[in-house]
Chain A
């Protein structure tokens, strides 16, 4: 008992409280859900469709936005330009905005009177109440996670490696694809998973753009407000399990790539 001082005991108690606070509600949720209700919900076509919609829309949003966001992250990691901190602030903006407010702002942009909405309806597409609109809402609030993680990853790649590649005659794009991108890969994947996860769990912005088709968070809310807690609970449990399985798999996949690079090996001497 005397081996650890009082400070360590206080640390231990505080840490346990935080952990308990996080685990207890989830544990309660699982324990209060009977297996028969759970399996019935799992077989429910509406629930299945909504979870599947959530997954593929969140993934598509993450995938398409990463094509533009990753090179942009490299640019911000490497180049300095006037108002760079303002640009960085704009990217972080969705994190601090109330998500319903973000949804309202986005709705103005993609509704038929909005700039993007007009262009889409000219192409015969309505973004409101449409998976495309949901994807935009998800991307709007979750993009900073991918962007910042990718930028940190690029910043950790020593610039000298890129310069060495240029010196060996490689073009800028070849340097990006053969040096910068592979070496920042882990951070990019982490950011990708975070953006995907954040997009899947988004409620506030999506519900304003599209109540229907229902993504899982909206569907859970809909069941709760229409039928009550006991009806919403099995759907919530199912969605949490699906999300956990996906993220565990993604994490395992990304960790199978061994770290090819540690920053300390390349610090300036």
Chain B
């Protein structure tokens, strides 16, 4: 188990401030943040490349705050992989075990085993200059995994590989995690968190602003920043009112949303996930729904299918799948009904 207690570190003008974190064994932890949010710096503190100004780092019951990098058994895979260009793939993977104390046969056997596991056996004799991003990443992973780290730190592992290879890498990372390896994965892309994380932390300006199970973080973001970070684009400034025991949100005195929960602040933001909104030409029959008539302003292809912008007095961004779009093609400037369930609306205190 990794425990960070009150970690602070000043790096030029930037501060990492009061990071408290507990990551239990076997967790796949995704740390989500923009570039410059402090996520890489936090990884470097855990790995021991930098020392915190204050606070403590504990790993498996041992205080490793002052421990040397070499003896932490925390494996770090750098964003650009930091492959040694003066060695072959074999040389890179064998680097940590290649010393006079280890017999050549054993080195060869261990490198062979990890290379096979990562499907790079055919690359072992190659120079590293002409490897693709995906291959370099596997080499970097193999080079770290051969050290049998207690904790694996990944800095933006998907950032420099082709989209077509991402699924393969995700499968590999999931498998490693299932085998019991604790992983901390740093990224700016919430979709990686959705597909991999068993826990998620959102870091901004050197502070962790929300942390927990991905469902909770993405379904109940604590503020607009986290909401934006989890891909939400529909934000409405509203007043929350209770009418005859039922809560409603009133936007700009004209649009009223039905809500499902039992208590709300007096005013704040109502947020809606783009994929929680349905579109149709016919008025939906469900009476409990929030239904609004609007005009399609823009249709753009997206990786899910289509992203539709609808003007219903307020602007709504709606994601629909390619299949749905094929079954009921929409055209720009056509009139449509948009609807969402009361449970889909998420209330946020304040306006930030």
Contact = CB atoms under 8 A, between A and B. Distances in A.
Given A164-B76, A169-B147, A260 B85 contact: yes
A170 B82 contact: no
Given A163-B49, A269-B80, A269-B159, A170 B86 contact: no
Contact of A167 (B49, B79, B84, B160): B49
A171 interface: yes
Most B CB within 10 A of own CB, among A164, A170, A182, A260: A164
Contacts of A165: 84, 95
A265 B147 CA distance: 26
B78 A183 contact: no
B143 A168 contact: yes
Instruction: Report the interface size class on chain A.
Output: 20 to 34
Interface in A157-195: 158, 160-161, 163-171, 178-179, 182-183
Given A160-B80, A163-B49, A269-B160, A168 B147 contact: yes
Given A164-B78, A165-B95, A179 B84 contact: yes
A201 to B, nearest CB: 33
Contact of B69 (A160, A166, A182, A260): A166
Contacts of A260: 85-86
B95 A160 contact: no
A171 B86 contact: no
Most A CB within 10 A of own CB, among B69, B79, B159: B69
B75 interface: yes
Interface in A239-269: 260-261, 265-266, 268-269
B164 interface: no
B210 to A, nearest CB: 27
A179 B159 CA distance: 25
Contacts of B160: 269
A261 B160 CA distance: 19
A179 B69 CA distance: 17
B70 A166 contact: yes
B82 to A, nearest CB: 4
A179 B96 CA distance: 13
Contacts of A266: 80, 82
Interface in A208-240: none
A178 B91 CA distance: 11
A170 B95 contact: yes
Contact of A168 (B48, B80, B85, B95): B95
Nearest to B127: A260
A266 B82 CA distance: 8
Contacts of A261: 85-86
B86 A182 contact: yes
A173 to B, nearest CB: 12
B47 interface: yes
A261 B47 CA distance: 26
Contact of B82 (A163, A178, A182): A163
A256 B233 CA distance: 57
B69 A167 contact: yes
A174 to B, nearest CB: 8
Interface in B90-148: 95-96, 143-144, 147
A260 B84 CA distance: 9
B81 to A, nearest CB: 8
A227 B322 CA distance: 96
Most B CB within 10 A of own CB, among A167, A168, A261: A167
Most B CB within 10 A of own CB, among A161, A169, A266: A169
Contact of B85 (A169, A265, A269): A265
Interface in B144-190: 144, 147, 159-160
A161 B47 CA distance: 14
A158 B86 CA distance: 13
Contacts of A164: 76, 78, 82, 84
Nearest to A160: B82
B70 to A, nearest CB: 5
Contact of B96 (A170, A183, A265): A170
Contacts of B76: 164, 167
Nearest to A181: B86
A161 B95 contact: no
A198 B181 CA distance: 57
Interface in A131-175: 158, 160-161, 163-171
Nearest to B159: A269
5 contacts: A163-B78, A165-B95, A167-B75, A168-B95, A269-B159
Interface of A: 158, 160-161, 163-171, 178-179, 182-183, 260-261, 265-266, 268-269
A-B interface, 8 closest residue pairs, ranked by CB to CB distance from nearest: A164-B82, A168-B96, A261-B85, A182-B86, A260-B86, A166-B69, A160-B82, A169-B70
Given A164-B82, A164-B84, A165-B84, 20 more contacts: A163-B49, A163-B78, A165-B95, A167-B47, A167-B49, A167-B70, A167-B76, A168-B95, A168-B143, A168-B147, A169-B70, A169-B71, A169-B96, A170-B95, A182-B86, A183-B86, A260-B85, A266-B82, A269-B80, A269-B160
